[in-house]
Amino acid sequence: MKGMQSLKKKGAKEINVLVEEWEDREESRINEVEKEGIENSREVEQELRRDL
């Protein structure tokens, strides 16, 4: 019984680590997309100013 509980705890810890790693990767992706969006909007703004 104790062995099973130990395995469950170990599995839960491993799952938590995987979830945290996934969340970190997702956050990095979101930051990259936001950065690209800001850069793109600056480029569009510059183009619009040139056209005026």
pLDDT (tens digit, 9 = 90+) per residue, 2-45? 787 888 888 899 999 999 999 999 999 999 999 999 999 999 99
What pLDDT does residue 34 have? Answer: 95
Q: How far apart (Å, rounded) are the C-alpha atoms in residues 52 and 46?
A: 10
User: Is 7 within a domain?
Assistant: no
Count of domains for the chain: 1
Question: Is residue 1 included in any domain, yes or no?
Answer: no
pTM tops 0.75 = no
User: Can you read off the two tokens belonging to residue 49?
Assistant: 């100013």
Rounded to whole angstroms, the Cα distance separating 50 from 42 reads 12
Residue 7 is predicted with a pLDDT of 81
Q: Does residue 48 belong to any structural domain of this protein?
A: yes
Of residues 39 and 52, the one with the higher pLDDT is: 39
Residue 2's pLDDT is what? 74
Residue 41 lies in a domain: yes
25 domain residue, yes or no: yes
Q: Is residue 33 part of a domain?
A: yes
Helix (H) or strand (E) holding 29: helix 2-51
1 vs 50, residue with greater confidence: 50
Domain span holding position 32: 20-52
